[in-house]
Every structure is written in C-alpha cells, then in structure tokens.
Amino acid sequence: MRRWPFFVTLLLGLGAAVPAPAEPQKTVDGPTLKLGELADVSSELQDFDLGPAPAPGQSRLVSKDELGRRLADAGIDAKTVKLPSAIRVTRSARHLSAGDLVKSARPALAARLPSGARVLSLTASKGATVAKNVEVMGIRVPKLPRRVGQHTLTITAELGELGTISHRLPLRAVITLDESAAKPAVQRGARLDLLIEQGAVRVGASAIALGDADAGEVTTFKVEATKKIVRGRVLSSNRAVVVQ
C-alpha cells in the first residue's frame, strides 16, 4: 500500500511558513515625529517630540520600547500610555522637477539682485526628491562682477521647511548688469549712517566709508565726530552696522 503521498503532503504542510502579521503603517509629512501621529494619546501628549522623521520617501520601524524610552526620558510613565507594539513610519515625499525648481527659484533670485540687474535665463540640471511641504527658503548669489554686460553665475537654491534647510541645489543663471548694478553698494568716500549697538542700546553716527563694499560685506569706516576707525557691515547703500 503506497503511503508516501500522505507523508509528502504532511512534510510540505509542516514546512510551509506562516506569514507574520504586518506591522501598522503611518505616513507623516513633517520633519519630526509627534507621539499623537503614532498612538492614541491625550491632547497633552499629541505634540510630544519623538525626534527626526525618516528622510523623504524613506521609512523606519519604531518599536514600543523606543517610544517607552522617549517617554521615560521626559519623566512620563509609559504604562499610562497605550502604545503600539511597533509601527512603520514613512515620510511623505514628492519629486521636485528641474522645471519646478527653476519656477520656484526665479522670483527669489530676482529679489536678491540689486537694482539694474536682470535675469536673462535660469536653468537647473536636475531636480530632487523632497518632503511634501519643502519650499525655496532662500537663494545664495556669489559676488557679482563689477562690469557692465552679460554674466553667467552658479547660484544655490536653499530648500527647506519650518526654518530648517534640507537641500542646497545649484542652478545656472545668466544675468545682465547695467552701470548702476556694476557699482558696489557703498563706494570709498561715501557718507552713510553707522549704527553702533551695545545690548539694547542703539546709537547712530555719520561715517565715511574707507573702502568699496556690497551689502553684507565688511569694510572700514571713519566716524566723523570722533575720527575713530571702526569695522562695519554694509546693510544698504546708506546704512551699516559696527561689527566687533
């Protein structure tokens, strides 16, 4: 009597793997994890900070032990909070194309350029995978040539959210400068208001620039009333602030 098919069936049945139950899933948008996003907690604990979220498009498993340690470090008894045994957290993401990057960066670039400068073209070689709420926070522009005409620059777009920069992406800008844009914001011999700040006290004095400088740069000034030589950072064509 042939019994081997029965034993084969039995062995195959014994060898079959039982799939493990999948852990709960949660997608978050922000750069930090909040306890209220991962567990059913009281309103007082909704915004309890659990540290950085995964990188955009990435995920990680957050265990009950990790959540308990975070709470314990803050002096909270984890036994009073209903925590999941484990939860997989994924950070939402979107693809920022090169075209969308240029579209977002162009107004910020125009705002950073002096009067008399005009953007002729702006291009990006690639986009990036970024978080859902990331936007252009600022533009870094190199020192502009002091020559009238057309110039090609590499600028940097700073992207981020909630005041934190997460990406710095290069772009190629072609700009043109007229005579006013080719001059420094402050020229040697110019008279301007010099601010002297000491704590909450701010005093203004008339001063003479002893060198050329653009906005944001530091040069030397002679205070007219005292003839004292000080270093100051240029704020605009008619104002600077003393630096130590």
Instruction: Note the pLDDT tens digit of each residue in 100-138.
Output: 999 999 999 999 898 899 999 999 999 999 999 999 999
Give residue 170's pLDDT. 97
Q: Residue type for 133, please? A: N
Tell me how crowded residue 202 is: count the other CB atoms within 10 A of its CB: 10
**Greater confidence, 208 or 22?**
208
Helices (H) and strands (E) in the chain, counts: 4, 16
Across 219-233, b (16+ Cβ under 10 Å) vs e yields bebebeeeeeebebb
For position 218, what pLDDT does the model report? 94
- State the pLDDT at residue 181: 86
Cα Rg of the chain, angstroms:
30
Q: Give the Cα separation of 78 and 66 in Å (integer).
A: 11
Percent of the chain residues topping a pLDDT of 70: 91
Q: Is residue 95 pLDDT above 90, yes or no?
A: yes
**SS3 (DSSP) at 108:** helix
Total residues belonging to the chain: 244
Instruction: Please report the pLDDT score of residue 216 as a whole number.
Output: 85
The two beta strands, 239-242 and 191-198, are parallel
Q: pLDDT for 161-206, tens place per residue?
A: 988 899 999 999 999 999 988 888 899 999 999 998 877 788 899 9
- pLDDT tens digit sequence for 214-229: 888 999 999 999 999 9
Looking at residue 184, its pLDDT comes to 87
d(CA 151, CA 138): 21
If you search the block for the tokens 């007229």, which residue do you land on?
178
Nearest-angstrom CA–CA distance, 30 and 12: 47
Fold for 191-242, please state it.
SH3 type barrels. (2.30.30)
Question: Could you report the per-residue pLDDT of 13-49, keeping only the tens digit for each?
Answer: 555 555 555 678 999 998 999 999 998 888 889 999 9
Contact indicator for 71, 77 with CB cutoff of 8 Å: yes
**What average pLDDT does the structure give for the chain?**
88
Q: Where are the domains of the chain?
A: 21-91, 95-177, 191-242
